[in-house]
Amino acid sequence: MLSREDFYMIKQMRKQGAYIIDIATQVGCSERTVRRYLKYPEPPARKTRHKMAKLKPFMDYIDTRLAENVWNGEVILAEIKAMGYTGGRSMLRYYIQPKRKMRPSKKTVRFETQPGYQLQHDWGEVEVEVAGQRCKVNFAVNTLGFSRRFHVFAAPKQDAEHTYESLVRAFRYFGGSVKTVLVDNQKAAVLKNNNGKVVFNSGFLLLADHYDFLPRACRPRRARTKGKVERMVKYLKENFFVRYRRFDSFAHVNQQLGQWMGDVADKRELRQFRQTPEQRFALEQEHLQPLPDTDFDTSYFDIRHVSWDSYIDPGTALRAGAGTSAAVAGYGLRYQLLRHPSCVLGQLYRGWQQSLQRSRNAVWSAGLDTHIAG
């Protein structure tokens, strides 16, 4: 039920000649509700206050979560149910709705794509606890335009290699590639974008050729072109990263993301279609392009000088003998130490602060696997 302020706003906007759809957008309700309220000469009396009894013990907690900028009703509902709430989501919605700030919206005609035609790529970042320390987690979201099904890959950096790795994993997750991939103007994909003249990163072009898709870039300062994936970045922050705040490692982040994608994200209802991404993906899957026989190689090679404190930084901290040089190759979330004078070649080492040898040899300090190539 709308507030008295909403009632008078509806009346005033209609009197000024506003369309029903614009009034509904401004107030945050359906067009049917606007028409019903226009028929009332006075604000209708509230009839549902007595039904709030089940929610009353949890109102202080809900207000606290709203003050923390958690407005996702499904997240709050799951939390208060764990605390003993026995009511439904409608009661919670009635309580939250009047508290939402009314924001003027920019109208954009939503552009729908055919099955298997487009994938939208974007990065987000959030600060959480990993291995007992606060750190920034970057996450790449790749969303299929038709079904809205998406894949998420968490990584320590938003560099080119992790961008390409996220797309490789997404195509593998979907079981096929698409005809076009729409990206923002990040350097991992786009070197220059002037008035529609786009110069793509050579590595991104190699990736596009490998998976047979056409790369496309958003117009500068027009990120709403890829609104589907940007909404998913927001959805990740307001749903997954509200539920989960502590992780053992980046591998643990991706493990939790994989479970959440299947249990929650794929089963959310898309209001405009009255279907879930899982149901729409069943229609889109047969239109995806077949994958090549091998994955695109996202590794890179670099030479790093070892500093006085015996550490080098190939994306995470790697310790080696001070004053020497080490050759490092990266593979997504795995790094390979190709050559170092004090290392035993051909051995696999795992874990946090585990020595390769007993004195001044290479160790990983980020819990990632290290392979000394022989």
What is the per-residue pLDDT across 293-332, written as a single tens digit (0 to 9) for each?
999 988 754 444 445 454 444 444 343 443 344 444 444 4
Residues 226 and 130 in one domain: yes
Residues 347 and 249 in one domain: no
Structural domain contains residue 109: no
Residues 309 and 226 in one domain: no
What's residue 300's pLDDT? 58
Structural domain contains residue 107: no
Locus of tokens 């089940």: 54
CA distance 50 to 180: 53
Structural domain contains residue 131: yes
Residues 333 and 305 in one domain: yes
Residues 91 and 136 in one domain: no
Structural domain contains residue 104: no
Residue pair 212/94 in contact (Cβ under 8 Å)? The answer is no
Share of the chain above pLDDT 70, in %: 72
CATH number of the structural domain spanning residue 209 = 3.30.420.10
Residue pair 177/207 in contact (Cβ under 8 Å)? The answer is no
The SS3 assignment for 208 reads helix
What's residue 258's pLDDT? 93
Sheet holding 318-319, edge to edge: 311-312, 318-319, 363-364, 354-355
With a cut of 70, say whether residue 38 has pLDDT above it.
yes
What's residue 349's pLDDT? 35
- Given pLDDT bands bounded at 50, 70 and 90, which one contains residue 110? low
Residues 261 and 310 in one domain: no
Residues 35 and 147 in one domain: no
CA distance 63 to 361: 53
With a cut of 70, say whether residue 126 has pLDDT above it.
yes
Q: Which two tokens stand for residue 13?
A: 């906007």
CA distance 346 to 253: 29
Domain boundary among 67, 99, 131: 99
What's residue 222's pLDDT? 54
> pLDDT digit string (tens) for 133-145?
898 999 999 999 8
What's residue 255's pLDDT? 93
Q: Which two tokens stand for residue 333?
A: 């979330």
What's residue 227's pLDDT? 52
Q: What is this structure's pTM?
A: 0.58
131: region left, alpha or beta (phi > 0 left; psi from -120 to 50 alpha): left
Structural domain contains residue 112: no
Share of the chain above pLDDT 90, in %: 30
Structural domain contains residue 295: no
Domain boundary among 99, 127, 144: 99
What sign results for the dihedral spanned by CA atoms 102, 106, 108, 110?
Answer: negative
Structural domain contains residue 219: yes
What's residue 299's pLDDT? 73
What's residue 340's pLDDT? 43
Which segment, 34-48, 273-287, 331-345, is predicted with the most confidence on average?
273-287
Helix axes 160-174, 202-211, angle to 10 degrees: 10
What's residue 109's pLDDT? 47
168: containing domain: 118-287
Residues 337 and 199 in one domain: no
What's residue 176's pLDDT? 94
With a cut of 50, say whether residue 341 has pLDDT above it.
no
Residues 230 and 306 in one domain: no
Domain boundary among 260, 287, 314: 287
Pick the more confident residue, 175 or 66.
Answer: 175
Pick the more confident residue, 25 or 324.
Answer: 25
Q: Into how many domains does the chain fold?
A: 3
Residues 131 and 272 in one domain: yes
What's residue 111's pLDDT? 59
Q: Which two tokens stand for residue 72?
A: 């996702």
Structural domain contains residue 294: no
Pick the more confident residue, 140 or 231.
Answer: 140
Residues 268 and 212 in one domain: yes
Residues 150 and 261 in one domain: yes
What's residue 350's pLDDT? 36
Average pLDDT score, the chain: 76
